[in-house]
C-alpha cells in the first residue's frame, strides 16, 4: 500500500525556484510517479511524470533518487499564477492499477 506524504504548505517569492518533495516509502516496482497542480474548483492538471532519475519538460523537473522512496518536483522561477495545491500521484500495475495521491502541498507565491 503506497502511502504518500507531502509538506502541507510552502511559501516562495516570485522568481525563485521551488522544490516540493513527496515521500512514498512503499512504492512498488513498476509504479510511476506523476505530479499535478490543482486550482480551486478545478480538477488536477498534469505537470510531469517519471519512473526514475530525472525528467524535465517545459514547465518543471522531476527528480527521483535511485531507491525511488521519494520524488521532488522542481518549479523554476515561480510566478503568482503558480499559487495552487500540488499533488504527487503514485501507482501502476504492480499495485493492481490502484493510485494513491499525496496529501497535497499548498504553494503560495508572494510578490
Partner 1 sequence: GAGVSQSPSNKVTEKGKDVELRCDPISGHTALYWYRQSLGQGLEFLIYFQGNSAPDKSGLPSDRFSAERTGGSVSTLTIQRTQQEDSAVYLCASSLEMGPQPQHFGDGTRLSIL
User: Residue 20: which region, alpha, beta or left (left: phi > 0; alpha: psi -120 to 50)?
Assistant: beta
What minimum distance in Å lies between the beta carbon of 50 and partner 1?
Answer: 9
**Neighbour count for residue 107 (Cβ, 10 Å):** 21
- With cell 492538471, the residue in question is 45
Q: Taking CB under 8 A as the criterion, which residues in 42-71 touch partner 1? A: 42-46, 49, 51
State the number of CA atoms in the 13 A half-sphere of 27 facing the CB.
28
Of 31 and 109, nearer to partner 1 (C-beta) is 31
What minimum distance in Å lies between the beta carbon of 75 and partner 1?
Answer: 17
Contact 53, 38 (CB under 8 A): no
5 belongs to the binding site for partner 1 (CB under 8 A) = no
86 belongs to the binding site for partner 1 (CB under 8 A) = no
Cell of 24: 512514498
101 belongs to the binding site for partner 1 (CB under 8 A) = yes
What is the binding site for partner 1 (CB under 8 A)? 32, 34, 36, 41-46, 49, 51, 87, 89, 91-93, 96-101, 103-104
Amino acid at each position: 500500500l503506497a502511502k504518500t506524504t507531502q509538506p502541507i504548505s510552502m511559501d516562495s517569492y516570485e522568481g525563485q525556484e521551488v522544490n516540493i518533495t513527496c515521500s512514498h516509502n512503499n512504492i512498488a516496482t513498476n509504479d510511476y510517479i506523476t505530479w499535478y497542480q490543482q486550482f480551486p474548483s478545478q480538477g488536477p492538471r498534469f505537470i510531469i511524470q517519471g519512473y526514475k532519475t530525472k525528467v524535465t519538460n517545459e514547465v518543471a523537473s522531476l527528480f527521483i533518487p535511485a531507491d525511488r522512496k521519494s520524488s521532488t518536483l522542481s518549479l523554476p522561477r515561480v510566478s503568482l499564477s503558480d499559487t495552487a495545491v500540488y499533488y504527487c500521484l503514485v501507482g501502476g500495475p504492480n499495485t493492481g492499477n490502484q493510485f494513491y495521491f499525496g496529501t497535497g502541498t499548498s504553494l503560495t507565491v508572494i510578490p
